[in-house]
Chains A and B, each alone.
Chain A
Amino acid sequence: MSNVPVETATAEIVVNQSPTRFQGFWRSFRKKKPALYSFYFVLLLILTMLFGPSVVPYDPALPDYNKVLESPSAEHIFGTDEYGRDILSRLAVGARISLSVSVSAVLIGMIVGTILGLISGFFGKWVDKAIMRVCDVLFAFPDLILAIGIVAILGPGLKNVVIAVSFFSIPSFARIVRGATLEVKEMLFVEAAKSIGASNTRIIWKHILPETVPTIIVYFTMKVGTAILAAASLSFLGLGAEPSSPDWGAMLSMSRDYIDSAFHLVFFPGLIIFLTVLAFNLLGDGLRDILDPKTKD
């Protein structure tokens, strides 16, 4: 009789000690230093996006003609531009434009691509063939050329950059989610759900989609880096943000004329684009190693 409560207590201790899924993930993630530091950098960027405009030391749009093209100093850490505006303040405010454009473009691509991939993988047959042929057509255009073509049709502007970048993200998400769906579809719990009469919609949303989420998260993180580069390239080419806006690509485009007289104008916007893309790529690599190790390399 006296053994029963002891066993229950031990069992409780074991249950309490076993880590949750998130704790297990976090333990593995913390060991991956490049990914961890990249995660902190991305967090910092998100904070800059949210609070940057209210904490920057100078008004990013206000010209100061007494301080035109000043080199980095204690007063202006990244120097000033051709209108005497503080570059650090402009980069901090520009984070909101550059990141929101890229993240929203990949989000749209992810949502549309995931829905197409789930439908394609689950229903197979002609539905699969039709969706994959559409993807083949989109894949027939190099990413940036497709984006440039779409902006050429719709006209320059950030809204159209979002549409253009999301367009080339769709087929990659559709293919990846389709592959994951084909794998999950054969698993026993899906068979079990089918056998108890669950509807197709329920099986897709409640059983298949949650299993593909890790793959989607990894791919999303990696694709954000690509999208930042593509959006910056379009702005650099004069097809994205307004040249006067503090968008990182547009800032670089405007700085070209001062390459021999004020190199800091070229250097800092490019450096911030590079570090941001690097952070998303390293974060994506780390997440892949933990969440989706079979797709490594």
Chain B
Amino acid sequence: MWQYILKRVLSLIPLLLVVSFVIFMFIHLIPGDPARLMAGKDATYEEVQAVRVHLGLDKPLLEQYVLYLKDLLSGNLGYSIKSGAPVADLVAERIWPTLGLTFMSIIWALIVGMLIGVISAVFRNKWPDHLGMLIAVSGISLPNFWVGLVLIQLFSVKLGILPTGGATDWKSYILPSFALGAGIMAMIARFTRSSMVNSLKQDYIRTGRSKGLGGRQIVFGHALKNSLIPVVTVAGLQFGFLLGGSVVVETVFSFPGLGRLLIDSIQFRDYPVVQAEILLFSLQFILVNMLVDIVYSFLNPKIRYE
């Protein structure tokens, strides 16, 4: 097991190097002179040069990349063009609300999605199944920004029971996490159903039934337990969907998280912040995928030997 984990962690190094290089090239891929763009249209030649030196853009490309890697390893993500503050500080401020939001989203999506999936599988091809799968396919098709706006209209404008935005208390997480988790909930429902349908056909279920076990015990004690592995894997792999969605949902709810910071930074052309944020999002995504692989190999030892 430890050998597998070590192998999996080591295999990340080349990927992380390439990803970091792609993100490093981000500033260089911007059409035109990045120093001029960041200094602003009305900047003098001296101001443009100062930005160039400040960002290290005057050095050879390879040297810039080595310095970038060194900075990354020491936790230095550069400085914001807009505020001059260290990007690491800006990001650290915003990371907790985003993590809280994604955590709440995935928790409710797992609970509701699995419940819908189990009901659909147990009542396969009957009306609860059709209804469950209609909810699931609708959830996948819903634009999360629209869900957010409809929720604001209903619960904030009409009923006045939940805040329209911000992240002041736990109540302000409810609507955004619902808007963000709807798509994942739908995917989890579909995978739980298909995994449960498969489990319910297995011999051990027949054995359980012949032993006289009750329906509830068979469904929750045997079938669901064995269906969980692919479901948890899917939930983990859909984490990227949550990260992307958080950018949109945070914008709808004026939520002070990483996603909102990303969009604000793009609008202000604060490229060091944009660069650091994209790195952070992909890093989270890569790490979660690795963790899912490790958990999966732990639950299903066959994977370790393939």
Chain A contacts to B: CB under 8 angstroms: 133, 136-137, 140-145, 148-149, 151-155, 225, 229, 232-233, 236-239, 252, 255-256, 259-260, 263, 266-267, 269-271, 273-274, 277-278, 281-282, 285, 296-297
B145, B152, B153, B243: most-surrounded residue (chain A CB, <10 A): B145
What are 10 inter-chain pairs, A to B, with CB distance below 8 A? A140-B15, A140-B286, A141-B19, A142-B241, A145-B244, A151-B266, A152-B274, A237-B248, A259-B153, A273-B146
Contact of B278 among A145, A225, A277, A282 (CB under 8 A): A145
- CB of A153 within 8 A of CB of B194, answer no
- Which residues of B sit under 8 angstroms from A270, Cβ to Cβ? 143, 145-146, 149-150
- CB of A153 within 8 A of CB of B153, answer no
- Which residues of A sit under 8 angstroms from B241, Cβ to Cβ? 142-143
- Which residues of B sit under 8 angstroms from A142, Cβ to Cβ? 240-241, 243-244, 281-282, 285
Known: A266-B153, A297-B190. A141 touches B281 (CB 8 A): yes
Known: A144-B248, A145-B243, A238-B267. A229 touches B143 (CB 8 A): yes
Q: How far, in whole Å, are A141 and B19 apart by their CA atoms in the complex?
A: 9
Is B29 part of the binding interface, using a Cβ–Cβ cutoff of 8 Å? yes
Closest Cβ of chain A: how far from B144's Cβ, in Å? 8
Closest to B152 in A: A259
Q: How far, in whole Å, are A278 and B134 apart by their CA atoms in the complex?
A: 10
Q: How far, in whole Å, are A132 and B267 apart by their CA atoms in the complex?
A: 34
Closest Cβ of chain A: how far from B238's Cβ, in Å? 10
Closest Cβ of chain B: how far from A226's Cβ, in Å? 9
Closest Cβ of chain B: how far from A77's Cβ, in Å? 19
Q: How far, in whole Å, are A263 and B252 apart by their CA atoms in the complex?
A: 15
- Which residues of A sit under 8 angstroms from B190, Cβ to Cβ? 297
Is B157 part of the binding interface, using a Cβ–Cβ cutoff of 8 Å? yes
- Which residues of B sit under 8 angstroms from A267, Cβ to Cβ? 150
Q: How far, in whole Å, are A148 and B240 apart by their CA atoms in the complex?
A: 13
- CB of A233 within 8 A of CB of B248, answer yes
Known: A232-B143, A263-B153, A270-B146. A140 touches B244 (CB 8 A): no
- CB of B267 within 8 A of CB of A154, answer no
Size category of the binding interface on chain B: 35 or more
Closest Cβ of chain A: how far from B177's Cβ, in Å? 18
Chain B contacts to A: CB under 8 angstroms: 15, 18-19, 22, 26, 29-31, 137-138, 140-146, 149-150, 152-153, 157, 190-191, 194, 240-241, 243-245, 247-248, 251-252, 262-263, 266-267, 271, 274, 278, 281-282, 285-286
Q: How far, in whole Å, are A271 and B285 apart by their CA atoms in the complex?
A: 31
- Which residues of A sit under 8 angstroms from B146, Cβ to Cβ? 252, 266, 269-271, 273-274
Q: How far, in whole Å, are A270 and B157 apart by their CA atoms in the complex?
A: 18
- CB of B244 within 8 A of CB of A143, answer yes
- CB of B145 within 8 A of CB of A282, answer no
- CB of B263 within 8 A of CB of A141, answer no
- CB of B30 within 8 A of CB of A153, answer yes
- CB of B26 within 8 A of CB of A282, answer no
Contact of A256 among B18, B19, B149, B157 (CB under 8 A): B149
Q: How far, in whole Å, are A269 and B146 apart by their CA atoms in the complex?
A: 9
Closest to A277 in B: B141
- CB of A153 within 8 A of CB of B29, answer yes
Closest to A137 in B: B18
- CB of A237 within 8 A of CB of B251, answer yes
- CB of A278 within 8 A of CB of B138, answer yes
- CB of A274 within 8 A of CB of B141, answer yes
Q: How far, in whole Å, are A140 and B140 apart by their CA atoms in the complex?
A: 22
Known: A142-B241, A252-B145. A136 touches B191 (CB 8 A): no
Q: How far, in whole Å, are A103 and B300 apart by their CA atoms in the complex?
A: 39
Q: How far, in whole Å, are A98 and B149 apart by their CA atoms in the complex?
A: 20
Contact of A237 among B29, B31, B142, B263 (CB under 8 A): B263
- CB of A144 within 8 A of CB of B282, answer no
Contact of A143 among B29, B150, B240 (CB under 8 A): B240
- Which residues of B sit under 8 angstroms from A144, Cβ to Cβ? 243-245, 247-248
Q: How far, in whole Å, are A270 and B146 apart by their CA atoms in the complex?
A: 6
Q: How far, in whole Å, are A145 and B31 apart by their CA atoms in the complex?
A: 20
Closest to A296 in B: B194
Q: How far, in whole Å, are A285 and B142 apart by their CA atoms in the complex?
A: 16
- CB of B285 within 8 A of CB of A140, answer yes
- CB of B22 within 8 A of CB of A137, answer yes
Closest Cβ of chain B: how far from A267's Cβ, in Å? 7
Known: A142-B240, A144-B247, A148-B266. A252 touches B285 (CB 8 A): no
Q: How far, in whole Å, are A136 and B16 apart by their CA atoms in the complex?
A: 11
- Which residues of A sit under 8 angstroms from B282, Cβ to Cβ? 140-142, 145
Closest Cβ of chain B: how far from A96's Cβ, in Å? 19
- Which residues of B sit under 8 angstroms from A229, Cβ to Cβ? 141, 143
Closest Cβ of chain B: how far from A248's Cβ, in Å? 9
Closest Cβ of chain A: how far from B259's Cβ, in Å? 9
- CB of B137 within 8 A of CB of A282, answer yes
- CB of A153 within 8 A of CB of B26, answer yes
Q: How far, in whole Å, are A277 and B144 apart by their CA atoms in the complex?
A: 12
